Chain A
Amino acid sequence: MTLTTPTPHQNKGRTRKSRRSPYLTALTTARGRTGLLLVLLVALAGVLAPVLSGHAPTDQSGDTLLPPLSAGHPLGTDDLGRDLLSRVLYGIRADLGIIAVAVPLGAAAGCACALLAAVHPVVDTVVQRAFDLVLAFPGLILALAVTAVLGPGRTPVIVVIAVAEIPVFGRQLRAGILVQRGREYVAAARVGGTGRARLLTRHILPNATDPLIVQLAVSLTVAVFIEGAMSFLGVGVRPPTPTLGGVLSQSMPYLSQHPNYAAGPLLAVTALVLGLSLLAEALNREVRR
């Protein structure tokens, strides 16, 4: 008798709607849309740099420190007569190139460490102490140390950002794994004969990823700052290749007379960071629902 009491499946449309990924839902909120728009604008500017600017970023003209809206130089020129618009656009390009490689690299390495730590308590302790070691160094000290070994350039910046992000992602995922491990469905899967590796990859990991997606957006923001700080201190990408931090650093001596010099890179960094932060916040709210 009881075998013949399937309850009717109501509201199929509703179910489908609620099954939509929280990430997509987050992107449709006002916060998410604004963030996405800002990030896309900045990214597009960087990607389309050769199309948008008529000059190469290292081309020098005779006119130094031209004001904005000069003929042929919408943002003016810098102290060496280089077109500021093209320097900012190519700077964005260089920045995006660095963070888009470094952050996922750090995230992947961090997650790999966390998974390794989940295998055995001894490994866990080792990995945790290694994380502590990295975290014990402030980002800039780490940057100086890495540059001292590798010399300035693009690669050290990527390495510094990646190394700085490893413990962040590693700890995040480890916490997630610990929480999910205690859940009843994990016990159910274990009683159901699921092996340890499968338990980790099929059951625990997918349920622990939500905070990682949010962390990715946060870390991209941090990466923009690290790159900027390294270039600003002169241990980052080597001149004359423009980066946002580099252009900003070069504008410093002229800040009082020619504030427009610094305005371009500052605006770009602000828009990028604001956009990423808004995205992170939108994702966070939706994921925690």
Chain B
Amino acid sequence: MSRLHTLVIPWLLACLIALCTIVPLGVVMLSALTPDPAIWSHLIEFTLPELFKNTAIMLLGVGAGVLLLGVSLAWLVAVYDFPGRRIFNWALMLPLAMPAYVMAFAQVGLLEFTGPVQTWLRPHFDTMRWFPEIRSSWGLVLVMSLAFYPYVYLLSRNAFATMGRRALEVGQSLGLSRSQGFWRIALPMARPWIAGGLILVVMESLADFGTVAVFNYDTFTSAIYKAWFALFSLDTAKQIASLLVMLVFVVLVLEQRSRGRRAYAQAGRAAPQPRLPLPGWRGWVATLAAGSALLLAFVIPMLQLVYWASLDFANQFSSDFLGYAWRSVSLSLIAAVLVTAIALVLAYLVRRQGSQAMRNLARVATMGYAIPGTVLAVGVFVPVAWLDNQIIAAMGWQGEVTAVLKGTLLAMLLAFVARFLAVAYSSVDTAMNRITRSHDEAARNLGYSGWALLRRVYLPLLSGGLFTGVLMVFVDVMKEMPITLMTRPFGWDTLSVRVYNMTAEGMWDQAALPAIAIVLVGLIPTILLSRQRDVA
């Protein structure tokens, strides 16, 4: 093998992969450097004040909501024993399977004026004026908190399970009561994990498109969509997208800062300790609390969906539905395999090369997970459109052809690579790290190298990680709404696009069946995750 081969090819490959993220991000950020005064004066006057206000209310409200729900449920389940605890331990993660936009229209349908709750209450009251309007900022905060609390729950539960009871004991040995121990020791010690969960929630909220659409609540994502698809001003969309990216980076920097010098190596080396029993009525209060969270965040919206779907099942379960499902499944599968394959190549390159530069390149390539889908949709569309024009000009196709790559599956897949590479990469990389240097050396010693090494040693050992990667990306693409909506080829309506179109019209019952299909697929990784992370 030539020197060129071993030196240049890996870097070329890695750079190509990283470009999938760098180009869309660069396109959007460059537009921030070349602001259009006309657009900006309009934005500043009419759009931005409301966007910032709405975003601030959403983030503060949802942040408070997920902290309250996530931390208290995690503490209850990790430290105490009460009737049903083992079930709640994993069941409280079920809302992860339900995309926020599904939760949103289910809850709105339940609680709006014509919904079952108000209909049931109406005969008992003179007026329903006192009933809060669900389509409001508090309704959005409620729905998003219910949809996103599992992130905080999952991370803080694991932290509490390893050090929660120990923290109480240390406190008691120093003269602190249990409640003082919770506030002064357990909570501060779990802070990095709680903060980690909170950051995920903030990112999800900033990136959310479908939920705010149901609530007709304008944030940056919906503003990007409207600028592009309602005002047909791609430039405005780009400018708003650049602001959203900056907001995301501010959050990331804040997260890094908040850790500071305090390195929290591990929550505790001690094995999980037996839980404190909650005897008598106190145990049942805990059961009631956890049970109502589960009912509100999963069971009731799910029942509502099933009810809607059953109303008109024969009609809805039609060839149209099967078409949406088929397109969703095939698209998700293609994207999952492609993204995981790219992740495998990247992880292998990082391992073989092992240099800091390659590691940094991988970090850049996987940065797309923090970038909202609406931004990536814009960021991918712009260069693809430019490329199309170059090709058309070069081939002399003017007038005959308007699009080559624009609006093709390929453009959409590029956006998915940027968005979900991190998901696949983390599971492949975790598996890769379990293969030791001596495995490598043993195989080399026995005469395998290059592709043979990858095929004979790595692939078999990585199969579990690759499967997880494919599964996670598959489910994520299935649930994904903005990229699919904004970059899909003509006629390529998937389940999530169908949900968007029906909820945009307020036809909740028509959106129910595709939504149920999405939730069922989402249940697979959620259950796997809960089994895997269950701390006995």
Are A and B part of the same complex? no
Footprint of A on B, CB under 8 Å? none
